[in-house]
Amino acid sequence: GGGLWEGFALERMAEAKRLRLVRKEWLGEDLWLEAYPEG
C-alpha cells in the first residue's frame, strides 16, 4: 500500500462512520464492510 491509498482509505473510513457502510471501490473490489458505529 502507498501513502496516497492509505490516506484515501482513512478518508473513506471517516465517511463510513457516518454512512455506516463503505464500498472498497478504491481497491478495485466490490465488497461492503460494516463501518464502526457512531459514538
pLDDT of residue 18: 66
Domain ranges of the chain: 3-34
pLDDT of residue 1: 46
Of residues 30, 23, 34, the one with CA closest to residue 9: 23
pLDDT of residue 17: 66
Cβ contact 38:18 at 8 Å: yes
Q: Which backbone phi and psi does 7 adopt, to 5 degrees?
A: -65, -40
pLDDT one digit per residue (tens) for the chain, 39 residues: 456 767 777 777 777 666 655 555 555 554 555 555 555
Record the pTM: 0.30
Number of other residues whose CB lies within 10 A of the CB of residue 22: 20
